[in-house]
Amino acid sequence: MEKKILELTAKYLQVGQVKVSLDNNKVITEIEGKKILGFVCGTLLMVRLKNRRLDGHTALEKCLIQDWLTYCATDLFHCPTFETLNVCLQYINKELAHHSYLCGYTLNIADVVVFLALHPFISNWSFLQKEQYMNISRWFSAMQKDESLRETYAPVQFSRTLLY
Amino acid sequence: MTNENKENSEDGPSKKALKKAQKAAEKAAKKAEYKAQNAVQDDATQEGAEVDCSVGLYGNLTLNKSQEKLPVTHKELKDLDESLANQNVTIRARLHTSRGKGRQAFFVLRSCEHTVQCVIAVGEMVSKQMIKFVCNIAKESIIDVEGKVVVTGQKIESCSIQDIEIYATKVFVVSASAQRLPLQIDDAMRPEADDPEGLQIKVNQDTRLDNRVLDLRTPTNQAIFRLEAGVCHLFREALRMRGFTEIMCPKLISSASEGGANVFGMKYFEREAFLAQSPQLYKQMAIAADFGKVFTIGPVFRAENSNTHRHLTEFVGLDLEMAFTHHYHEAVNVIGNMFTEIFRGLRDNYADEIATVNHQFPAEPFKFLDPPLCLEFKEGVALLKEAGIEMEETEDLSTPNEKLLGRLVKAKYDTDFYILDKYPLAVRPFYTMPDPNNPKWSNSYDMFMRGEEILSGAQRIHDATLLVERAKAHEIPIDTIQSYIDSFKYGCPPHAGGGIGLERVTMLYLGLDNIRKTSMFPRDPKRLTP
């Protein structure tokens, strides 16, 4: 899962030659000669090379980004069943209740990573599920408007009126 | 040590054995003494039995074989209120619960949806034996209680009649129940999420249906079936007032009316006969016989092996058919207005029953518009497309799409009831009249309640030649429907109509989840009794 998300993130950031490989369940990112071990470090390396804006402006934001990326690497990517995935989704839903984006009020790399991870699930949700995770739906709908994401991913429909 | 013991056992009982024997003797002596004392006490109570002051005021009545003609002075539970304070009343009801402690007993009487608390305490006219008798009466027995109506200071929360209670002076058992009941009425009427800390015992649907006689006694079921009777009554009244005649159609027919798939067959003397799937043919024959506007209420038999929450093999069909002058919308408006009258009548006259059902099965109140909302099939498909559902314009609506469309219509127009007009011709039966301008569409309509279909209707083909043509297009052999085609050979007015299922309408109006809750003795592929 980490490998796939790293590759998708690389495509999003338009990083040139990136090689991602797995070694004993640890993911190694190789970019411009440098080899970095681990998902969080690999992502942050790519971001700092290509698009510093997505790395967060304040120290607090940078901390939160690292926190979310770690959460992805430890919990979100390793959900064995739908029940555990639902637990993660409820956590994310609660966190999004008071923020526009995961780390505050601006888009950053943590949002992109979580978007890429959840897209295949959310595109298959029924309207009932979208209404149950109201905050995730709102956040997802905002994320879809980003230009580079809009180009690569088919938009998911959300209903603006409450159906259930 | 062991040697000593061996020696002792050879010589006779050892010290230990002696001690044991002594203790046993002491115990026996104590027991005998206790028994003697109790015997004395029993004698005392025997003496008490002779002094029972309530003899003749309680007991089991002899089996009622209509021995005497007496004037009926019993009052109904629903008529008890504060205006009868301090008067003596006699009531006949079921014993719902009872609990007693020596000199006092409280018991609750139940009749239909109402419960009232009764108190009986030892006094001048009431003896201890009477209290004991009352506490031993089995639950669900039918009893006659005479007593004084007393206004209580505090409201009795656990009963439906909360301001008064009865101080009983006479209690007679009219019909006793067996002690062990297959299900407890208290459990069967407990609301779903009453108190998370309290009892969560519910009764399984299968248990309920196996012991339907007991299950139907709960106040909720009493309310559901009285409301169902109301639906039937309002249907009749709405149509009678518009000049419809009620007709009775046969259920034993010689050939399957709507396609041979889902029909019950049986031996009819030397031939084969079927149970009618719908009174379609006979409604139309009545129109061709100049009855103008007809309706019929009767059982419908569908041999579908569907075990879902909304299918039964036998249900009550309310069908209507009417001849119109220019356009089939005349019939659609009549049906729509009839539904509006039914919904309004239920909302206004059966509010208590709806509240009782909602107490155990909470649901949103039913919303409807006057005049009813009528959308075209094309508009419905467009609404679904906006919501991201891809479907062909002439494709039939699948059940999930129907439900989603119901949600979208509710969100947009705020109504639980709507009509979908001009269905595609390809998905309708062969006797549906095609649209005059575009052969892709037909003059047919469906009506929905809470997103589920309750009525399917159309303008019928009243011309024999066109009927044969359409039957051929649907590849139906003409000889099986020859008698049907013959009915239109001698002139028939243009007509349209539709049919609804009584149980389904009641279920969707109350927002219940299973059609077996609204069928008194339901029939499905797995159930044939009671």
pLDDT digits (tens, 9 = 90+) for B16-59: 888 888 888 888 888 878 777 766 655 555 544 556 777 888 88
Mean pLDDT value of segment A27-39: 80
Write down the catalytic residue from B92, B217, B310, B428: B310
Mean pLDDT value of segment B371-378: 94
Write down the catalytic residue from B110, B470, B504, B516: B504
Interface predicted TM-score of the whole assembly (ipTM), two decimals: 0.74
For A1-12, how does the pLDDT look when each residue is reduced to its tens digit (9 = 90+)? 778 888 888 888
- A-proximal residues of B, 89-118, CB under 8 Å: none
Q: What is the pLDDT of residue B4?
A: 47
For B69-80, how does the pLDDT look when each residue is reduced to its tens digit (9 = 90+)? 999 999 998 888
CB of A141 less than 8 A from some CB of B: no
Task: For residue A158, tell me if it sits in a domain.
Answer: no
Query: The tokens 């010589």 sit on which residue?
Result: B11
Mean pLDDT value of segment A70-79: 85
B398 as an active site residue: the answer is: no
- Are A163 and B411 an interchain contact pair (Cβ–Cβ within 8 Å)? yes
Between A and B, how many CB-CB pairs are < 8 A? 16
- Are B404 and A127 an interchain contact pair (Cβ–Cβ within 8 Å)? yes
DSSP state string for B41-63: HHHHHHHHHHT-TTTTSEEEPPP
CB of B403 less than 8 A from some CB of A: no
User: How far is residue B183 from each of residues B99, B187, B206, B522, B528, measured CA to CA in Å?
Assistant: 19, 8, 11, 19, 20
Mean pLDDT value of segment B491-509: 95
Say whether pLDDT at B1 is over 50.
Answer: no
The alpha helices in B112-195, defined as continuous H runs, are: 128-136, 185-188
Q: What is the pLDDT of residue A163?
A: 84
Q: What is the pLDDT of residue B283?
A: 93
> N- to C-terminal Cα distance for chain A?
34
Predicted confidence band of residue B373 (pLDDT cuts 50, 70, 90): very high
| Residue-range definition of the domain harbouring residue A66 | 2-152
CATH of the domain at A63: 1.20.1050.10
Shortest distance, CA B407 to any CA of chain A (angstroms): 6
B470 as an active site residue: the answer is: no
Question: Which residues in chain A have their CB less than 8 angstroms from residue B410's CB?
Answer: 163
Shortest distance, CA A157 to any CA of chain B (angstroms): 6
φ and ψ of B266, to 5 deg: -160, 170
Q: Which of A103-112, B31-40, B152-161, B171-180 has the lowest mean pLDDT?
A: B31-40
Predicted confidence band of residue B517 (pLDDT cuts 50, 70, 90): very high
- What is the C-alpha to C-alpha distance for residues A156 and B93, in angstroms, rounded to an integer? 61
- Are A127 and B387 an interchain contact pair (Cβ–Cβ within 8 Å)? yes
Number of structural domains (chain A) is 1
The proportion of chain A whose per-residue pLDDT surpasses 90, expressed as a percent, equals 5
Mean pLDDT value of segment B432-448: 95
CB of A124 less than 8 A from some CB of B: no
- Are B411 and A162 an interchain contact pair (Cβ–Cβ within 8 Å)? yes
Which of these, B102, B88, B241, lies nearest to B170 by C-alpha position?
B88
Task: For residue A24, tell me if it sits in a domain.
Answer: yes
Say whether pLDDT at A144 is over 60.
Answer: yes
Residue B456: both structure tokens together = 């399917």
Residues 6 or more apart from B405 whose CB is under 8 A from it? B380, B383, B384, B397, B448, B451
Task: For residue A27, tell me if it sits in a domain.
Answer: yes
Which of these, A15, A19, A43, lies nearest to A33 by C-alpha position?
A19
B94 as an active site residue: the answer is: no
Residue B389's closest chain A neighbor by CA? A157
Q: What is the pLDDT of residue B2?
A: 47
Mean pLDDT value of segment A3-30: 80
Predicted confidence band of residue B480 (pLDDT cuts 50, 70, 90): confident
- What is the C-alpha to C-alpha distance for residues B5 and B8, in angstroms, rounded to an integer? 5
φ and ψ of B275, to 5 deg: -90, 135
Contact criterion met (CB below 8 Å) for B116 and B159: yes
B453 as an active site residue: the answer is: yes
Mean pLDDT value of segment A121-142: 89
Residue B185: both structure tokens together = 């009425």
Question: Which residues in chain A have their CB less than 8 angstroms from residue B408's CB?
Answer: 163
Residue B450's closest chain A neighbor by CA? A164
Task: For residue A164, tell me if it sits in a domain.
Answer: no
Question: Which residues in chain B have their CB less than 8 angstroms from residue A159's CB?
Answer: 387, 411
User: How far is residue B218 from each of residues B213, B251, B272, measured CA to CA in Å?
Assistant: 10, 33, 42
Q: Which of A44-53, A59-68, A92-101, B174-183 has the lowest mean pLDDT?
A: A44-53
Residue A126's closest chain B neighbor by CA? B404
CB of B412 less than 8 A from some CB of A: yes
Predicted confidence band of residue B144 (pLDDT cuts 50, 70, 90): very high
Question: Which residues in chain B have their CB less than 8 angstroms from residue A161's CB?
Answer: 411-412
Task: For residue A163, tell me if it sits in a domain.
Answer: no
Residue A6: both structure tokens together = 């790293």
- pTM for this predicted structure: 0.82
B295: β partners = B246, B320
Say whether pLDDT at B9 is over 60.
Answer: no
* CB neighbours of residue B156 within 10 Å: 17
Task: For residue A160, tell me if it sits in a domain.
Answer: no
Predicted confidence band of residue B261 (pLDDT cuts 50, 70, 90): low
Q: What is the pLDDT of residue B386?
A: 87
Task: For residue A161, tell me if it sits in a domain.
Answer: no
Residue B405's closest chain A neighbor by CA? A163
Write down the catalytic residue from B113, B165, B321, B453: B453
CB of B496 less than 8 A from some CB of A: no
Shortest distance, CA B356 to any CA of chain A (angstroms): 24
Q: What is the pLDDT of residue B40?
A: 60
Q: What is the pLDDT of residue B466?
A: 94
pLDDT, chain B, mean: 89
Q: Which among A157, A161, A162 has CB closest to B388?
A: A157
Say whether pLDDT at B384 is over 70.
Answer: yes
CB of A127 less than 8 A from some CB of B: yes
User: How far is residue B523 from each of residues B210, B224, B530, measured CA to CA in Å?
Assistant: 12, 18, 9
Question: Which residues in chain B have their CB less than 8 angstroms from residue A157's CB?
Answer: 387-388
Task: For residue A25, tell me if it sits in a domain.
Answer: yes
B208 as an active site residue: the answer is: no
CB of B408 less than 8 A from some CB of A: yes
B233 as an active site residue: the answer is: no
Predicted confidence band of residue B260 (pLDDT cuts 50, 70, 90): low
Which of these, B400, B371, B366, B402, lies nearest to B506 by C-alpha position?
B366
Q: What is the pLDDT of residue B218?
A: 92
- What is the C-alpha to C-alpha distance for residues B126 and B449, in angstroms, rounded to an integer? 57
For B74-132, how does the pLDDT look when each residue is reduced to its tens digit (9 = 90+)? 999 888 888 888 899 999 999 999 998 878 899 999 998 889 999 998 888 888 888 98
Write down the catalytic residue from B311, B344, B523, B527: B311
